[in-house]
């Protein structure tokens, strides 16, 4: 097995894409991302050599990947030895956004309450999707005034999340499988997987889809309920929510001053916050 991608000799045809991918080592620490990259490439019939020749555009178009996602998987490909050009990760756009409507309770639906609790916790504990997927209930401690999240990496105090947390805990108490589940964000129904069950650990993809659905529904709610004096504000916010991903939500929370939980996105968030402060200062002087 080679330790990096090598182009085929001029007189030799490239191996079939699936075989070519199997020849490459999986970059340590990026096993899940590498698997998703390979699956996406095979969907469009691309091997490592095609990826170098054509770049990430065919995969991004087929999967609907945004620039930040393209930048991530380009980095993963380079870690695996594929000579792709460096793609700069875009800064959060917009740089600031009102996020509180996503953490407000509107219905008693379990899926809604679970996502609202997630969003409320993420404003003070902006973990990645993977970190929230693995977050256990015994790591979340409600007090009289706030929720405290304790992990092996430290302790975070989350103000403003008590209502959402208690509503979700009360809801799951009505369902034995959810009440017994150790996960903060458990599955609410069986999925297609063999090991899927109510109360089991959700997949990263399922969480991403859940957040996107919640953001769209919140956008619809804002449009329907905003008073006439707030229609312009609600419409502008709804437009942003329609395409908001959890990764962007997390970066915006970091840019708003939340203490970093993981290195990913923290540097960009600090740059974004500093740039927003400079622009505000320039605006006040003009």
HEC per residue, the chain? CCCCCCCCCCCCCCCCHHHHHHCCCCCCCCHHHHHHHHHHHHHCCCCHHHHHHHCCHHHHHHHCCCHHHHHHHHHHHHHCCCCCCCCCCCCCCCCCCCCHHHHCCCCCCHHHHHHHHHHHHHCCCCCCHHHHHCCEHHHEEECCCEEEEEECCEEEEEECCHHHHHHHHHHHCCCHHHHCCCECCECCCCCCCCCCCCCCECCHHHHHHHHHHHHHHHHHHHHHHCCHHHHHHHHHHHHHHCCCCHHHHHHHHHHCCCCCCCCCCHHHHHHHHHHHHHHHHHHHHC
Region label for 125, one of left (φ > 0), alpha (ψ between -120 and 50) or beta (otherwise): beta
pLDDT of residue 112: 97
Per-residue pLDDT of the chain (286 residues; tens, 9 = 90+): 445 566 655 556 678 889 989 989 898 878 888 999 999 999 999 999 889 889 999 999 998 887 878 888 898 899 888 888 877 766 555 678 999 999 999 999 999 999 999 999 999 999 999 999 999 999 999 999 999 999 998 999 999 999 999 999 999 999 999 999 999 999 999 877 777 899 999 988 899 999 999 999 999 999 999 999 999 999 999 999 998 999 999 999 998 888 888 655 444 555 555 555 555 555 555 5
Tokens of 117: 């609790």
Picking from 79, 39, 78, the residue whose alpha carbon sits closest to that of residue 59 is 39
Is the Cβ–Cβ distance between 163 and 109 less than 8 Å? Answer: no
């Amino acid at each position: 097995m080679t330790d990096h991608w090598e182009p085929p000799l001029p007189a030799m045809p490239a191996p079939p894409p699936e075989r070519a991918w199997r020849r490459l080592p999986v970059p340590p620490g990026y096993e899940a991302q590498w698997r998703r990259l390979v699956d996406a490439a095979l969907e469009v019939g691309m091997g490592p050599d095609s990826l170098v020749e054509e770049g990430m555009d065919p995969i991004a178009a087929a999967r609907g990947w945004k620039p930040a996602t393209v930048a991530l998987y380009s980095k993963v490909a380079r870690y695996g030895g594929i000579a792709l050009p460096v793609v700069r990760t875009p800064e959060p756009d917009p740089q600031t956004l009102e996020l509180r409507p996503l953490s407000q309770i509107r219905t008693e639906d379990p899926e809604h309450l679970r996502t609202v609790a997630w969003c409320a916790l993420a404003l003070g504990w902006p973990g990645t999707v993977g970190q929230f997927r693995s977050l256990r209930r015994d790591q979340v401690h409600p007090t009289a005034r706030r929720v405290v999240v304790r992990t092996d990496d430290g302790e975070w105090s989350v103000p403003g999340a008590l209502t959402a947390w208690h509503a979700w805990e009360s809801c799951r108490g009505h369902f034995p499988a959810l009440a017994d589940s150790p996960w903060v964000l458990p599955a609410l129904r069986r999925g297609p997987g063999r090991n899927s069950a109510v109360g089991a650990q959700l997949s990263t993809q399922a969480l991403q889809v859940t957040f996107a659905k919640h953001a769209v529904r919140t956008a619809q709610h804002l449009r329907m309920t905003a008073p006439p004096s707030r229609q312009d504000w609600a419409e502008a916010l709804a437009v942003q929510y329609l395409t908001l991903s959890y990764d962007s939500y997390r970066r915006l929370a970091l840019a708003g001053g939340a203490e970093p939980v993981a290195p990913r996105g923290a540097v960009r968030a600090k740059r974004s916050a500093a740039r927003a402060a400079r622009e505000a200062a320039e605006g006040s002087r003009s």
